[in-house]
Structure 1
Amino acid sequence: MKYVKSYVPYHSPFDPCPPIGKKYYRTPPHLYMTFQPYNLPQFSPQEALKKGTLWPALYDYYENPYDRRS
């Protein structure tokens, strides 16, 4: 499942500004879970505080799509 989506905004031929190009946005993993299953694996309390969630299935690492270093 890809959590990073993209789209190209409309650019009018009469627009004096240059086109913006491709825009990116992220969708959270919980949108794709229809229910919370029993016995999901859990992070340790310290790791859960760092990652912002108790369950690895709901963790989504943020990676900047506009970063050109790759």
Structure 2
Amino acid sequence: MYTTRKSYTPFVGPFDPCPPVRVKTYETPPQLYMGFQPCGLPQFQPKEALRHGTLWPALFAPYTNPYEQGGNRE
């Protein structure tokens, strides 16, 4: 499944002073996956585009909090 949220497991040392975060996540922008901008992409209305920060829905990616969806921390 395609997703802009990626995850990785960082190294956890035996002498780390804090409890480890076993899985860390980050988001990548959607323009990384679009090689070029094709002609005729659908567009938001001007007022909507200002609210979303982009004219094209294909390039809109709101930040999603991973901890609200059940969490990625162990």
Same fold (TM over 0.5): yes
| Aligned partner letter, 2:10 | P
RMSD: 1.7
Sequence identity percentage: 59
Match in the other structure for 1:12: 13
Question: Which structure 2 residue ranges, 5 or more long, are not aligned?
Answer: none
Quote the offset at 1:69 in angstroms.
6.2
Q: For residues 38 and 50 of structure 1, what CA distance do their matches in structure 2 show?
A: 23
Match in the other structure for 1:52: 53
- Runs of 4+ in structure 1 off by over 4 angstroms are none
Question: Which structure 1 residue ranges, 5 or more long, are not aligned?
Answer: none
**RCO (CA 8 Å, sep 6+): is it higher in 1 or 2?**
2
Change (3 A) 1:39 1:61: same
